[in-house]
A and B are shown apart, each in its own frame.
Chain A
Amino acid sequence: MSSLREKDPNPPRLPEWIIQRLAWAEDRFSIQENFREEYMYILETKGHRSADLWYWRQLIRSIFPFVKFSIYWRSVMIKNYLKLVFRSMNKHKGYSFINIAGLAVGLACFILISLWINFDIDRWSGGNYHTYVHLEEEANLDFFKAQIRGIYKKYAPNWERSKLTLRPITRIHLYGLNGGGPIVYVHIFSGLSVFVLFLAMVNFTNLSTARSALRAKEIGVRKTAGAYRQQLTKQILMESKFQDHRCDQGFPFLLPSRRNSTSDIYSQIRWL
């Protein structure tokens, strides 16, 4: 077993993997190559154990600088992405306006309707000539129902067609006492809000895709200049994220009271 390991000239896998993760893309392979070369040298002169030990020690000592420099370069890149976002937004003002405004209005419609529905489903007000019965917690509902059905038979035998029924208080507001009620509107509006949201999404996606052909040139130039796939992805994603963020920022002004009242819905919307 040990002889097998002895012949294997490759450095241990785990630290190699860690280096791959830690190092920035540009120098990742050079750094790995350097580690390998020195590892091989120590392997030949001092043997396996000290080579492995060297590798691990080097790695552990390298972690802090790696992380430090990675963060530094990442922040440089993020600054650059942000600059690009603003530039492309200023360059295509009309496009950006339609894109952002469309999404914002769509989202605002959706959220306002959701708020209304939320309000309607959550709260109710009572007050009519019906009788309200408050049941004890331990009361047997089925027994009570049976009892109440017999009330007319017992006290008013002539009113054969009359009937007493029970209805939970939570269903009074939306379902009405005589059938129908606002629940129909709730259903219509929830359907409508989903439709509006869908329209906004399609609009946004459509505009973005339509421009992708134009952006191909820009991306080509970037790639030629040495950009990595990951960096391009990040840049484009950041752009659309930023536009999305702008609508999110704009929409609370449409509401009577800002975020606190909408926070629960807001948090549900966020991930969209």
Chain B
Amino acid sequence: MKEISKAEEMVLLAIWRLGDGAYGVSIRGQIHKDTGKDYTYGTLYGLLRQMDHKGYIQKIRGEPLPKKGGRSKSYFKLTPAGIRALKDAIELYKRMWKDINDFSFEES
């Protein structure tokens, strides 16, 4: 299976952390809180749509906004494939960073 990119990984993790409350603003906020990166909505929604296409996440229609002509907010949820992708990612990291610890890169 193809590995996910770092940006995708960040978005997937943010969605997982947020649970039921994952939508545009909160995902962006979560990523900023976790990693300090300031994603624009352009990038974020591009990634979201791509991952929706790949089947990692699922878009869920929420309740319509309480105002005239309010549209329903779309929430995002991880699919089993998305969770598997995250597990694969961490497995890959474990294998990559095997027997390397904090002191490995120190000059002796």
Contacts and interface: CB of A to CB of B under 8 A. Distances in A.
B24 A30 contact: yes
A61 B40 contact: yes
Interface residues of A, number: 24
Interface string A4-28: 0000000000000000001110110
B66 interface: no
B: contact size bracket: 10 to 19
B71 A34 contact: no
A73 B49 contact: yes
Contact of B24 (A34, A61, A66, A68): A34
B43 interface: yes
Contact of B71 (A33, A64, A73): A33
A35 interface: yes
Contact of A64 (B41, B42, B48): B42
B79 interface: no
Interface string A57-87: 0100111111011001100000000000000
12 contacts: A27-B48, A29-B71, A31-B41, A31-B45, A34-B23, A34-B28, A62-B40, A62-B41, A62-B43, A66-B42, A69-B42, A69-B49
Interface of A: 22-24, 26-27, 29-31, 33-35, 37-38, 58, 61-66, 68-69, 72-73
